[in-house]
Structure 1
Amino acid sequence: MRGSDQVTGSLFSYVDLEERIPTRHPLSKIRTVVNDVLRCLDVEFDRLYAGEGRPSIAPERLIRASLLQNLYSIRSKRQLVEQMDYNLLFRWFVGLGIDDAVWVPTVFTKNRDRMLTTDMSCKIMAAILAHREVAPLLSDDHFSVPSRQIASQSPAGHWTAPR
């Protein structure tokens, strides 16, 4: 029997994002490591923010969203915010619920840039690299790549092969 193509709206959502994401998805392990690191830096985050005033975007969410932007090569913050609006995997990774509003791109950019202009970005990276699950994956081995295979960016912003 042919299924129906009728769209019915629902008043309530009973989707648990944790159940929708496969436990073997690569972002599951990354999220675990990142959350461990962010918990360790909680006191550092508290020092960066004032005790009163309008609440900003949680620094943990800013960092997880920035990681997504880099991991998935998303070109702009506007595209990242758009993806977070409808991509359940991104919402789950960042820590947004299915019904949570996504940030305005300019607000996201200002909050993230304000936080990362401190030495916080170095502390975050150092903590991630020192994490017990990440450290064994790192190596001091040296490798070489022929220069013909590396593309460089010209001052005009166009990608060109080096001579």
Structure 2
Amino acid sequence: MYTFKNKISRHFELLLLAIVILLITASCGGGGGGDDNPGPSEQELAFDKLKGDWGITNNGKIELDGGNVAANYVGFTLSFTNGAFTTTNAGDLFPATGTWEWVGEGTNQIRTGRGKLVTITSLTTTNFEFSFTKTASNSVAGVSGNYVIKVTK
């Protein structure tokens, strides 16, 4: 026989079950919404590849308007840290030390502290190729033109 007491007990069980389902759903994020920890940004991932020491000794190159000028920069090295760089034997291409920053939100261009815009054409953990145009307005001395530089780790 179904009594009033059984009816209340049954309602209590259903209410308890609904609360448990609600708590489980809420603890799983409710089935929607964004990720609270999206992981590293594209720029952070690119910087992980960019940071460190680069040189032209292993299949690197320095070209000016398509011609090989690496002989003018024997021992050229370039090293990146977060927001700064250093060079060795860079001649008139880059100062011995300087700063850099990403251009916008992308990962294909950086700007040096002296205003030189550098376009990244290829970046892996072991190869870095970039280009820039050197003009009389962004250099103290040296040959103006279009440079392509490939360095390796």
TM (norm. structure 1) is: 0.23
Larger % of strand: which? 2
Larger % of helix: which? 1
TM (norm. structure 2) is: 0.24
Larger Rg: 2
